[in-house]
Structure 1
């Protein structure tokens, strides 16, 4: 049985360094934002929220037929913290762990979400470890997500872990994100993205 949980997809970024919307790149003809939404919904969350910002109209249109709640972050240019605050506000009082993910890890598969859920207990947050780092996708306890109101600027929830050690599930392939054109070409070569030039 799936652990009761909610889910948040952070999809508000402007993709400035890449020069094109990451959310709308495709894999197998499916946009990354729609693909991640589909993978998230396979975990059967109680609520599934997508926070959009840059390119909000185009991204919301892609999500139109998908059973997610779209929230527009008008302050997306201030960084990730504003999206986390919106998500925390939308889920306030539900008291469930929340799966938090992004759209620019093109190697992401549903089995990783399943592994995070299987590893999680409510004694600590559960994060993804890749190489020497740790971060999203992650499952945050309700108490951690509620503290997102403390965050400002372009910071994520790592700031909330001071003094604690989250549980981790390793997935080194998720270290490959889409910050620039070189990352994009590498993802295309690996078969994780359609070639946007074709």
Structure 2
């Protein structure tokens, strides 16, 4: 299985409270995402990238076999966090032979199965496997070894979606309608709690 970068660096400015610590079905969004990542990675390394709320998030990761790194430049954008996570993985003892999956902590319907399907869907000719929802490609997204140089060159202010738009010929997609559910505002969190999913 591929290594996984779980992004949890934002300050949740639009929400007014740390989204990472919002409870959903008995666990915080961060704990739920981290447990899903660990299960999907099946022994491959998992790195959680924090930023604004580093100290506050650490208790949620206790007992999980994850590396936690703080992105000092988290305000610069998602690209800075992705590259921080990638650097941490590349310093790990094992090389990234299986590629890397990038995921967020505020997509509560991401499953172990989805993450594994993304990693399995990529091919040498299409080394990027993206989730598809709302007629766009997005995260979670798997980058095969051939595509990792693109991640290393990602501008700080850009996210993975920019690479998907720039290199559509490299992308295979998997339908994930529930990928559209994330938590950036109080209204979105209220809708999540009211959802039957």
After TM superposition, is the score higher than 0.5?
A: yes
In the TM superposition, what whole-angstrom CA distance separates every residue of 1:153-178 from its partner, at most 9, and x where no partner exists?
Answer: 43112333424330000011111111
Aligned residue in 2 for 1:24: 21
Q: Is the 8 A contact 2:79 2:159 kept in 1?
A: yes
Question: Unaligned 5+ residue runs, structure 2?
Answer: none
Aligned residue in 1 for 2:113: 111
1:35 Cα offset (Å): 0.8
Q: Structure 1 stretch 37-46 or stretch 180-189: which is displaced more?
A: 37-46
Matched, 1:182 2:182: no
- How many residue pairs were aligned? 189
Q: Is the 8 A contact 1:79 1:155 kept in 2?
A: yes
CA RMSD of aligned residues (A): 1.8
1:27 Cα offset (Å): 1.8
Q: TM-score, normalised by structure 2?
A: 0.88
As a proportion of its length, which structure holds more helix? 2
Matched, 1:164 2:168: yes
Aligned residue in 1 for 2:140: 137
1:126 to 109, 129, 138: 129
1:45 Cα offset (Å): 4.3
Q: TM-score, normalised by structure 1?
A: 0.87
Q: Structure 1 stretch 69-78 or stretch 142-151: which is displaced more?
A: 142-151
Cα distance change of structure 1 residues 138 and 45 upon mapping to structure 2, 3 Å threshold:
farther
Aligned residue in 1 for 2:4: 7
Map residues 18-57 of structure 1 onto 2, 5 A cutoff.
18-43=15-40, 44-57=42-55
Q: Distance in 1 between matches of 2:29 and 2:72?
A: 21
Give the secondary-structure state (helix, strand or coil) at the position aligned to 1:42.
Answer: helix
1:132 Cα offset (Å): 1.5
Cα distance change of structure 1 residues 68 and 156 upon mapping to structure 2, 3 Å threshold:
same
In the TM superposition, what whole-angstrom CA distance separates every residue of 1:124-158 from its partner, at most 9, and x where no partner exists?
Answer: 20000002111100111223233333222431123
Cα distance change of structure 1 residues 34 and 177 upon mapping to structure 2, 3 Å threshold:
same
Cα distance change of structure 1 residues 45 and 128 upon mapping to structure 2, 3 Å threshold:
farther
1:106 Cα offset (Å): 1.9
Aligned residue in 2 for 1:152: 155
1:54 Cα offset (Å): 1.5
